[in-house]
Structure 1
Amino acid sequence: MPNRSCDRTRVLQVIGNLGRGGVETWLMQVLGAIDRERFAVDVMLLRPEPAAYDDRAQALGVNVIPCPGSTRPWRFARNFRRALEQYGPYDVIHTHMYLRDGLVLRLAHGAGIPVRISHSRHPQAHRIDPLLKRAALPLVRYLVKRHATKILAVSDESAAAFLGPGILGDRRYELLTTAIDLAPFTTRGDGAALREKLGIPPEALVVGHVARFVEWKKQDFIVRVAAELRKRRDDIYFLLIGDGPCREAVRLQALDAGVSDRFVFPGERDDVPALMTGVFDLLVFPSVSEGLGRVVVEAQAAGLPCVISDGVPRHADVVTELVCRRSLAEPPAVWADSIAAALDAGRVMSPAEALATLMQSDFNINANVDHLEAVYDQGLADALPRG
């Protein structure tokens, strides 16, 4: 039964931590845009640790609930029940934890939470140990399908990779993409000042990239592409934003390839829209696979040409004139050709035209939050007793 002890619908979002990732950024934007007179949202962290968005969540007045132990089911179950006793009851649980979704939803069902949502974001099969995948994924799929009242995904590809292709025909399935706050893209970043701080010459062309430095994001491939471009021209810089375990290895690879003087590694930044609108001339994104590829959508909002891998779902192609797809099976020289051609062609449309297209799409955070609120409302309506 829905919790009617409070005038607002109480929602528990379940994520890993509040680091600067795709789901975390989306969630912060949702928390800022959702109707707080109708919805009260708490956030449960399965990997609680200090992270980039801690202060923002606190400023929004959100209860941030640590719940460690998700790799030990019995310990996690105890912590989960204690958290619900302290902070609940909840009307909706909305989990984004992939292999842990099954356990979370089973516990939520047992605790009487009426609306239980699994939200798939990552086709992560290639990132999981094969033995773990064979052992865990069938059980997780069974638990999610048994205990979820609603199944969401940021793309059909993400849903099919997680729960199998048959899920696309399930009556509970619905596409709810990861939208972005478009307001920061309505003004242009101060390119001259930003370039000066980053050590990039005013006349240079800048190929940008934003991602965590992990193997499947293929920053090593970007270095190989840069080496090909360096053979032809000397006016292109590569600005690789982010951090992660592979960052130092990529920096050393650039050094070995003789292109380190054209690479800038500023780490994580909270001004990505300003960098995209003021510094980037093109986005390169050669990821092995993505649930969506949120940064590709952001680059289109900035009016940037994008050279991306075919591992990014086509749902991310909002302004198709800006997107060039390449296969990672193609050699770096082919990617270099595409980048050079896009840079030489210049802008195919104004940033304002590109942004207007995004404003009318489901990637607009305001439309996205309206959709999310409707999912919660319908879930509660379905949970009410008939008659």
Structure 2
Amino acid sequence: MTQKRILLLDTGKEWGGGTNSMFELLKRIDRQRFHVTCLFYHDYPKGKDSSLGRELAKIGIELKLLPQRRQPLWAKLAKELGRGVLVWHKPTRERWVARVEQAWRIRPNVDRLTRELQSGGYDLLYMNNQPRSNIEGYLAAETVGIPVVQHCRIEPVMDAATSRLVNRVARKVIGVSNGVVNALLQAGVEPAKCLPVFNGIDPDQPLPDGQAVRSQYGIGEQEVVFGAVGSLIERKGIRYVLEAASKLNAAKTPFRILLVGDGPQRAELQTLAEQLGVADRVIFTGFQPAPLPFVAAMDVCLLASQSEGLPRVLLEAMLLAKPAIASNVVGSRELVADQQSGLLVPYADSHALFCAMQQLLSEPQRRRQLGEQGRAIVTRQYTIRAYVDGVERVLAAAMEC
């Protein structure tokens, strides 16, 4: 069997659930069949004590970096000028901004990626994220003439030009959920190119009990913990969690809000918690490189996001038999069966979120029932082995065409 050389391209800037899922794949991929080299724009940190490069070194994967230059002043001014002059017509305005981006950022990256693909003798370019963040990868692979596989880990945002590029260059586009695949199809990607490979989790891994985390933060035995894991950014909807908590403040059953993660919205959210009168109930843990013990400390997992792919935190919560309350959006609604393994609420509806939290706050038996049904679903349908096997099949088939 001839070992195939794969370049994995990722343009991301921070560690998240998609990074964790990528690592689970890289730890288990068949190295006799596939030799993977990672090319990232940023060697971003994993908490305070590690980084992408260090974590890849631990599993024997080479990391190459493609540092990005800062946006030049002329590009910034050109975009602002175009937005001002073309304020009357959004499509024309967006095309103008795209041309400026093409000139200062995308085209130079295409040239650098082309040189890397040619010098490395790669058989395939495998891109992590969504198509619109990987434009330069498509163009470079097209120049060199090697196949492309896109792994779309979140509901994509695509315009017609991006869809045409994907249809022209990609061999396959993996969606982490049926919802992501449907979004790709609705954006105009050819059906023959799209297929789902669900994210997975190891059902046989040792599971923590969460007591150490509860003790660390002084959480009482009788307190019900509603927790969320993820970057503190607008898309994650943490403001709605805090608003719901403020409405829950009068409940007789004591509760805490455990927010696991960090991000640019942290200070704003801490201020909001004070304004809403729930600061004493909210725990900001910061980024945690090993979030599973924190999920184990929760009684209910919250995911109030605007969009998802197939969220890893829900897989972890379900494996730990924790019920979930999630926004009724792509990815989340595929995992959470409403009223069976958790509760679904409209995105950005803090009152609906409050009602769902109130429902589970005082019903421990209901929480256990939902959690156990969730565990049965994830161990049956979303295993890590099925995830890795599915991706390996796509990669191999793309190089055989």
Give the shorter-chain TM-score range.
Answer: 0.7 to 0.9
TM-score (norm 2): 0.82
Match of 2:77 in 1: none
- Which of structure 1's runs of 4+ aligned residues deviate more than 3 A? 47-53, 68-71, 159-163, 181-184, 347-357
Partner of 2:251: 232
- Tell me if 1:12 matches 2:45: no
Q: Is the 8 A contact 1:141 1:163 kept in 2?
A: no
Cα separation, 1, equivalents of 2:374 and 2:186: 34
Among 335, 339, 342, the alignment partner of 2:360 is 342
Kindly state the Cα deviation for residue 119 of structure 1 after the two structures are TM-superposed: 2.2
The correspondence for 1:29, drawn from 24, 27, 36, is: 24
- Measured in 2, the distance between the counterparts of 1:296 and 1:350 equals 13
Q: After superposition, where does 1:208-227 map in structure 2 within 5 Å?
A: 208-227=227-246
3-state DSSP of counterpart to 1:321: coil
Instruction: State the distance in 1 between where 2:110 and 2:398 align.
Output: 24
Query: How far 1:149 moved relative to its partner?
Result: 0.9
Q: CA deviation at 1:197?
A: 1.2
User: Is structure 2 residue 197 aligned with structure 1 residue 176?
Assistant: yes
Q: 1:334 to 1:73 in 2, by over 3 A?
A: closer
The match for 1:61 is 60
Residue number among 133, 145, 152 corresponding to 1:120 in the alignment: 152
Displacement of 1:18 in angstroms is 7.2
Q: Is the 8 Å Cα contact of residues 100 and 140 (structure 1) preserved in structure 2?
A: no
Looking at structure 1, the residues matched to 43 and 327 of structure 2 have their Cα atoms a distance apart, in angstroms, of 33
Q: Map 1:189-338 onto structure 2 (within 5 A).
A: 189-191=209-211, 193-233=212-252, 235-277=254-296, 279-313=297-331, 314-317=333-336, 321-328=340-347, 330=349, 332-338=350-356
Which sits farther off after the overlay, 49-58 or 304-313? 49-58
TM value normalised by structure 1: 0.85
Offset, 1:84: 2.5
**Using the alignment, how far apart are the partners of 1:42 and 1:18 within structure 2?**
18
User: Structure 1 50/325 Cα, relative in aligned 2: closer, same or farther at 3 Å?
Assistant: closer
CA contact (8 A) 1:189 1:274 kept: yes
Q: Distance in 2 between matches of 1:316 and 1:64?
A: 33
Deviation (angstroms), 1:22: 1.9
2:305, 2:270 → 1: CA distance? 18
Deviations 1:53-76 (A, max 9, x none): 331101111111112449512311
Q: Which residue of 2 aligns with 1:130?
A: none
2:376 matched to 1:359? Answer: no
Aligned with residue 80 of structure 1, among 113, 136, 141: 113
* Secondary structure in structure 2 of the residue aligned to 1:171: helix
Unaligned runs of 5+ in 1: 1-5, 126-132, 383-387
The number of equivalent residue pairs is 359
> Contact 2:342 / 2:374 at 8 angstroms: preserved in 1?
no
In structure 2, distance between residues paired with 1:146 and 1:179: 30
| C-alpha separation in 2, matches of 1:372 and 1:124 | 19
By how many angstroms is 1:320 displaced?
6.7
Deviation, structure 1 residue 205: 1.0
- Alignment partner of 2:231: what SS? coil
1:31-61 CA distance string (max 9 Å, x none): 1111112211111113444454331101111
- How big is each residue's C-alpha offset from its partner over 1:286-334, in whole Å with a ceiling of 9 and x where there is no partner? 111222232222211111111111124332237972221111364x343
Q: Partners in 2 of 1:351 and 1:338 — Cα distance?
A: 15
Q: How has the CA–CA distance of structure 1 residues 182 and 56 changed in structure 2, closer, same or farther, with 3 Å as cutoff?
A: farther
Contact map agreement 1:310 1:325 (CA 8 A) in 2: yes
Q: Is the 8 A contact 2:155 2:183 kept in 1?
A: yes
1:187 paired to 2:207:
yes
Q: Unpaired segments of 5 or more residues in structure 2?
A: 70-100
Name the counterpart of 1:151: 173
Offset at residue 244 of structure 1 (A): 0.7
CA distance in 1, matches of 2:360, 2:242: 18
The CA deviation string for residues 65-116 of structure 1, in whole angstroms up to 9 with x for no partner, is 1124495123112221232244x21222111243133331221122132x31
Q: How many Å separate the matches in 1 of 2:186 and 2:373?
A: 38
Distance 2:154 2:172 in 1: 17
